[in-house]
Structure 1
Amino acid sequence: MTAEEHKKFLEEDFDDVSLDKLVDISKIRIDRNRTQERRKKQFLRAAGNPYLVKVGDTKVKIRFANNGVSFEDAFENLLLMS
């Protein structure tokens, strides 16, 4: 993901995106036999915008506090759960 893509994803507004345009992350399946780097790429390709997705019929905007768990750690935890 380029810096420009990352910025665009972060700035995408929750109210401007319709539910039917979002990827349901509960349906994404990640190959656990791949390296962590390959799993990340596989998820990003499948999810599109990793910050704005849906779970079932619910829109989800993912944000992280500056003083909490890093995006990298949270993303790795997500991949481990898949």
Structure 2
Amino acid sequence: MLLELLFKLTFGIIGFIINLIPNFEIDLNFTGLLAPVGEALGYLDMFVSVNVILTILGIVFLRDNFVFLKNIILMIYDKIPFI
């Protein structure tokens, strides 16, 4: 019973703190902005599968991140004088 009271008190305080954060109602109309992209993908889907395009984009993303991390590691390696 005491443990239940402590949990209710703790969750009540956490809920009160979370409710202090204001709720921003932002209405962004993405359907109008993304309609040309969807139309382009629709035309592109007639020639190449969208899964192939997503796979290629994923591979390019992974390669770019690998090159970025490699450059960071090489920069750190160059900064260490005793290696």
- Taking structure 1 as the reference length, the TM-score comes to 0.17
Larger RCO (alpha carbons 8 Å, 6+ apart): 1
Higher strand proportion = 1
> Which has more radius of gyration?
2
Higher helix proportion = 2
